[in-house]
Amino acid sequence: MVKAGLAHLWFVTVHPFEDGNGRIARAVGDMALARAEQSAQRYYSLSAQIQRERNDYYDRLEATQKGSLDVTDWLAWFLACLLRAVQGAEQTLAQVLVKARFWQHCVGGTWGVAEVPGQWTHASVSMVDLNHFVLLRELYGISAPKNGEGCANSR
C-alpha cells in the first residue's frame, strides 16, 4: 500500500506528459495495489475516492511537492483515503445484501429459476407486498423486512 502511494506521488511529481498524468498515476497506484493484494478482483475504487476528495488531494499533492518532499503526510492521507474507499465499498455491499435478502425472502430464494434447467417461472410476490414496501421505504425510510416479514411467500 505504501508502494502504491509512493508510485502515485512520484509519477504525478515527475509529470512526464502534457495531459493525463493524474489518470495514469491513479492507474499506476491501482496496479501497485493489485500486485500487493495478489488479486485480480477488487471491490473498492481508490480512483473514485480520490475524485470525491479531489480538493484535499490537490492540496496534499501541492504541499508535498513544494515542501521538503517529506512524504509522511502524503502517505498518511493516501492510506486514509484508501481506508475510506474500502469502508465505502463495505457500506455499498451491505446495502446490496439487504436488498438481496429482501428479495430472497419474498420470492423464495432463486428468483425466476425453475427446478428444470432451461425453464423459467414467474416469481409470486404479491403486488400489495411490493407496494407496501415501496411506500414504507419512500415515505418513512423504513428498510426491507427481515426474515421475510410482510412477504406473501413467508406467511
Three-state DSSP state, 113? strand
Nearest-angstrom CA–CA distance, 86 and 109: 29
How remote is the C-alpha of 132 from its chain's centroid? 29
pLDDT score for 86: 93
Contact 92/115 with Cβ under 8 angstroms? no
* Grid coordinates belonging to 146: 427481515
* Grid coordinates belonging to 120: 423459467
Query: What's the pLDDT tens digit per position in 95-118?
Result: 888 777 766 665 554 444 444 444
pLDDT score for 117: 46
Query: What's the pLDDT tens digit per position in 121-136?
Result: 445 445 556 666 676 6
Could you tell me the pTM of the whole model? 0.64
Continuous H helices in the chain = 2-14, 21-37, 46-52, 54-66, 72-107, 127-140
Spatial CB neighbours of 151, under 8 Å, sequence gap ≥ 6:
105, 106, 107, 125, 126, 129, 145
The list of the chain residues with pLDDT below 70 reads 102-133, 135-155
pLDDT score for 141: 66
Angle between the 72-107 and 2-14 helix axes, to the nearest 10 degrees? Answer: 120
Q: 109 pairs with which residues across the strands? A: none
* Grid coordinates belonging to 31: 496496479
Q: 113 pairs with which residues across the strands? A: 120
pLDDT score for 16: 80
